[in-house]
Amino acid sequence: MGRAGLNNGVKMATYDEVKKSAKKTFGDNILAQIVSAAVASFFQAASICPLDMARTRLMNQPRDQII
């Protein structure tokens, strides 16, 4: 649940802020939406990737290994 909250929070906040700037630069068209979605996706992946890596390592470690 924490991962989903972080995922959606980063995506929504980044998309809205970038779209405001993109509208000023490109106008209110499909290009502004594409740029906003691409930037939001990058930041979404950058924020979630370390958590997914840690989760995968924890799940793949042997049962008798202590962290």
Number of domains into which the chain is organized: 1
- pTM for the predicted model, two decimal places: 0.75
Task: Return phi, psi of residue 64, to 5°.
Answer: -85, -5
Q: How far apart are CA 65 and CA 9, in angstroms?
A: 34
Q: 6: domain range? A: 2-56
Q: How far apart are CA 14 and CA 57, in angstroms?
A: 28
Per-residue pLDDT of the chain (67 residues; tens, 9 = 90+): 778 888 889 999 999 999 999 999 999 899 999 999 999 999 999 999 988 898 898 888 888 766 6
Query: Please, how many CA atoms are within 13 Å of residue 1, restricted to the half-sphere of its CB?
Result: 0
67 domain residue, yes or no: no
20 domain residue, yes or no: yes
48 domain residue, yes or no: yes
Virtual CA dihedral for 13, 14, 20, 23, nearest 10 degrees?
-140
